[in-house]
Amino acid sequence: MKNSNLKRSFKLSLAAIAVGGCLVTSPITFAAEEEAEEVIEKIQVTGSRIKRADMETSSPVTITSAEDIKIAGFTRVEDLLNNLPQIEAASTAFEANGASGRGTLDLRGLGSNRTLVLVNGRRMQPGGGSSGSADVNSIPSALIKRVEVMTGGGSSVYGSDAIAGVVNFVMDNEFEGIKVDVNGTGYQHNNDNSYMQDLMDDKSFDYPEGSSGIDGKTFSLDISAGSEFADGKGHAVAFATYKQTKELRQSARDYSSCALHSSGTRCNGSSTAVVPNFFIAPIGPDGYDYSQEQWVKLTPDNSFSEDRSDNVYNYAPINHFMRPDEKFTFGTFLNYEINDTFRPYMELMYMRDQTKAQIAESGTFYADNITMDVSNPLVSDAQRTYLADQFGLGMDDQFGAYIGKRNVEGGPRTSIIQHDSFRIVLGTAGDLSDNWTYDASIQVGSTTNATISINDLSRPKVIEAVSGDGTDCASISGCVPYEVFTYQGVTPEQAKGLTSTAISSSFSDQFIFSAFATGDLDLTVPGADSPIAVVVGTEYRKEEFEYVPDQIVAEGALTGMGGPSDPLQGSFSVKEIYGEANIPLVADAPMIESLVLELGYRYSDYDLTGGQSTYKVALDWTPIDDWKVRAGYNRAVRAPNIGELFAVQSIGLWSGTDNCAGATPAFSAAQCANTGVTADQYGNVSASPANQYNSVTGGNKELSPEIADTYTFGIVGQISDDIDFSIDYWSIEIEQVIGAIGEELTIDQCATTGNAAFCDNITRSPTGNLWQGQAGSIQATSINLANRKWEGIDISTGYRTEALGGDFSVTMMSTFMMTKEYTPLPGDETATYDCSGMFNSNCFPQPEWRSVVNANFDKDDYGLNVKLRYYGEVEYDETVDELLVADGGISAQAYLDVAGRYMVNDNITVRLGINNLLDKERPLTGGALGQGAFYDQLGRYLHAGVSFQF
């Protein structure tokens, strides 16, 4: 190496790669030093547009290489990155109810809308939702060169949404040759959970036993080709990928073959059952008489009985555990050098993805209070006798009914979801002088999403088929009476006539113009050995989104929808200018090998919310060779997205617990009175059997941007030529958080404090519940809340040596989550709660410690990898889930993965592996709580692949 600075930079670059490779460390070859100077001079690392000679910057960056991705065996990009300790799972293939079909990333658990995703340093287009979050499914895994994850705010460099940080997919646009990757994966599990099996035996529910065999299979084919052309002036890379995943239902695992009750001690079941249950009451002068309401079931003799405790439906088995999916992508990366000043380039990516999300059959779900004549021919004589005995009703009277009948005759509800995604970048780069370069581009991105919902009952059709004196249905063309009051009287033909098909579409469009120049100033600070480097740039971005439901969706006319879904249309644009400066202050002084100051500033002018400034100040100090101290401060912002601004307020469903419901409510009568429960209702408010309640959600055009201050401080060093490490403290404090007060938190805070800010958002039905029909609900629309504070420590270490004639390395990456604090309302410290290491109705299970340890051995034509994934224990501080109460929470979880590769020859490489070798099950928790999605869901994961490269 020509000087100590370059040597140090190169060694620290190797340290970054060794430490950053979360999944497996690729072999490091020190013989490459001969070419290092040329490569280092051209490195541009995530977090800055200034090219530098050192991959270790003032902002912590984690690097995952292409080989890491391959040997991990994942065919979905989001699955790979969700194993990083810094990332929590967001939208994944394991969602069925409410699935979007997208794959999103959630850095630090702050939300995918606060994680900015880049491709080659450029913002990725929205994935089809109103939040604007990117869909990483459209990224071709075959051409990923590396993935760089930068923590801490990046708004001054990249703009809005980078509050938690940035995930940058660097593509291999210089690939040469032809490469074909063929991969097959699947899951295997031994169904031997005696606890769950005993619970299902108590309910006479079916469940699988023994080995599942290999299920949940995925096949993928990736083809890449690249070559120079025009005598080396141009280079082209093309890719095409195909992936097919088979469905896996919850019935395939004993631990998911029934939904646990919120107590965790029995299998839950829906009272919307195969044999219907009813809420019934007389129709008086003021309408439905809630004071006389009874909850009854249909009996085999076509009468009613209040003994309905055993009449429930096991809705879990038919739900998708993993959705079927079929995806096709293709694209190209082109660049051509006309001269040093004009080097045009193009990036083109296209994806079509189709998935199906299946959940349990539809039902009437007590959606409507239907008025019926006692003389209605659907009502049996035994039922008329019951109505007369209980309410004194005669043939000329009327009664009302909320019906709970599961539509098993009509088949499971299915959403067919298709995404079409397109992204093109046209630009040019070149030299402006010996020291200055420029880059200018236009980027267009578009995503179309279509969802078709089938096998869901139509509310209007059900009402027509049952209500009144029975003549309404007879007068309507195509109407078939719904024999729901006859024991097993509903036929598949009736069910078919009562369903409707619903269609909705969404369209996301993005346009970006970007231009920047970077270079060295003719200015060097006295005592420094290199000039000041700067970047100046401008950007214009416009985003548009439109959601178009058909009339059925817009009216919420299907019983399983939970409420109307209004059309949504909105757009925003932003004009920005920005700049960066890298200012070397001191070099080659005692205890200061190098001291560099980094500055950044961006001004963003939004057409809807006005101007915002973001900035950064960072210091990079190398006291001695191979050691670095880094610190940084970033002011970051997130402008409200289209959904938060323009979504029409409408009623829907939230999952959780009403702690004022049930025979023995968690809160006292006085506390529940704060939430609207009367003295007569206390102890008689029905809880939703499915733990789903009504809420009113929607947008707010008066929202202000979120403001965040992020801090980082860390040390990077090499203890020896074989051992390196980094340790970084980070803190993210957000003010004016855009969101909604959680529905369950609203109930709990209202009950315990009586604060009108919470209590005014609760509307209970005449019977006090929040789920029967739509009379009761929680208001949870978007507002600017108080603040959040996240802080933690990232630790990375790497060790490399030669052993047994090969290269042996061990890497470890850990995150210690110190604080995960929510303050829902300004000035109300009583509502503040910390989710770090905690699990309850307000907190997604967040282990304080998450770690990944890799041991890797490479020799000649083969390599072996052993990986340990560790999730620390999570405390539980509530009294609902008796399983968690008994265990004190979720115990620490560890998963062991093994993988290997073998080079058959120079052109063929074979890979095999098993993740979760010991077949460890996910933790069991009650239905109202769910569980952390980063725990392995399905047991052993088997993967095999072969690469052909020529």
Q: What is the rounded average pLDDT of the residues 204-216?
A: 95
pLDDT at site 781: 85
Q: What is the rounded average pLDDT of the residues 479-501?
A: 93
Determine phi and psi for 160, rounding to 5 degrees. Answer: -60, 160
* Window from 13-17, 77-81, 229-233, 495-499 with minimum mean pLDDT: 13-17
Cα–Cα distance for residue pair 171/136, rounded to 1 Å: 13
Q: What is the pLDDT of residues 5-23, one digit of tens each?
A: 434 443 334 333 333 333 3
| Closest by CA position to 579, among listed 524, 532, 517, 512 | 517
pLDDT at site 605: 95
Cα–Cα distance for residue pair 582/157, rounded to 1 Å: 13
Q: In this structure, which long-range contacts are made by residues 393-397, counting pairs with CB atoms below 8 Å and at least 24 apart in sequence? A: 393/282, 397/282, 397/283, 397/373
Residue 4 has pLDDT above 60, yes or no: no
Residue 505 has pLDDT above 80, yes or no: yes
Measured CA angle at 902 (ends 899, 904), to 5 deg: 155
Residue 39 has pLDDT above 60, yes or no: no
Determine phi and psi for 71, rounding to 5 degrees. Answer: -75, -20
Task: Identify residue 645 by its one-letter amino acid code.
Answer: L
Please return the burial class of 950, using the count of CB atoms within 10 Å of its CB with bins 0-12, 13-18 and 19+.
exposed
Q: Where are the beta strands (DSSP E) in 749-845?
A: 762-763, 777-779, 783-784, 787-803, 806-823, 833-834, 838-839
Q: What is the pLDDT of residues 792-805, one digit of tens each?
A: 999 999 999 998 88
* Window from 43-52, 397-406, 629-638, 897-906 with minimum mean pLDDT: 43-52
Q: What is the pLDDT of residues 913-948, one digit of tens each?
A: 999 999 999 898 887 566 556 789 899 999 999 999
Q: What is the pLDDT of residues 661-707, one digit of tens each?
A: 999 999 999 999 999 999 999 999 999 877 889 998 888 888 899 99
pLDDT at site 55: 53
8 Å CB contact between 38 and 4? no
Cα–Cα distance for residue pair 257/742, rounded to 1 Å: 29
| Closest by CA position to 789, among listed 817, 814, 813 | 817
Q: What is the rounded average pLDDT of the residues 277-300?
A: 94
Encoding tokens for residue 301? 């003799």
* Upper half-sphere CA count for residue 693 (Cβ side, 13 Å): 31
pLDDT at site 235: 97
pLDDT at site 332: 96
Q: What is the rounded average pLDDT of the residues 245-263?
A: 93
DSSP letter, residue 30? G
| Closest by CA position to 275, among listed 483, 469, 461 | 483
8 Å CB contact between 374 and 470? no
8 Å CB contact between 642 and 574? no
Q: What is the pLDDT of residues 607-650, one digit of tens each?
A: 988 999 999 999 999 999 889 999 999 999 999 999 889 888 77
Q: What is the pLDDT of residues 861-891, one digit of tens each?
A: 999 999 999 999 999 988 888 989 988 899 9
8 Å CB contact between 512 and 123? yes
Q: What is the pLDDT of residues 28-37, one digit of tens each?
A: 333 333 444 4
DSSP letter, residue 526? T
Residue 148 has pLDDT above 70, yes or no: yes
Instruction: Report the chain's terminal Cα–Cα distance, integer Å.
Output: 33
Q: What is the pLDDT of residues 305-330, one digit of tens each?
A: 999 888 999 999 999 999 999 999 99
Cα–Cα distance for residue pair 701/935, rounded to 1 Å: 38
